[in-house]
Structure 1
């Protein structure tokens, strides 16, 4: 008389899990693409060249030290629409 659907709950949970997994993958990809400040300085083309950019924030604590006695700070900067530093 009625046809029994045994796997209906399992299949719907599987579909929902796959949708969330796809969304998480998309968010991870977009997050890594848009938040990569080391990309600007990955090549050695900036070595020895003065680079100017507007600095919006500096983390007040020292992040690390370099052998020559210099210290490292975290700095927030901005890029224009063309991907060039302002």
Structure 2
């Protein structure tokens, strides 16, 4: 008998497990729910960052430029802007 060890891995990797229509629909439903959850979380993050930026702007309006906290808050606000830009670009750097 001929030795078919050479072809066996190819045969094994080319096989596709069959799933039922119910399993496929359940998987699709899970993927859709996960995608919607991610969209909601992204929107929550955007809202949080916008709120933080607005809060920092209000604080900066009341502070004097020579106050050490003024520069710390400016840095925090800049960082919030940077993260917000990153999220709005879909998580891609330029």
Which TM bucket (shorter chain)?
0.3 to 0.5
TM-score normalised by the chain length of structure 1: 0.42
Specify which structure has the bigger relative contact order, considering alpha-carbon pairs within 8 angstroms and separated by 6 or more residues: 2
More strand by share: 1
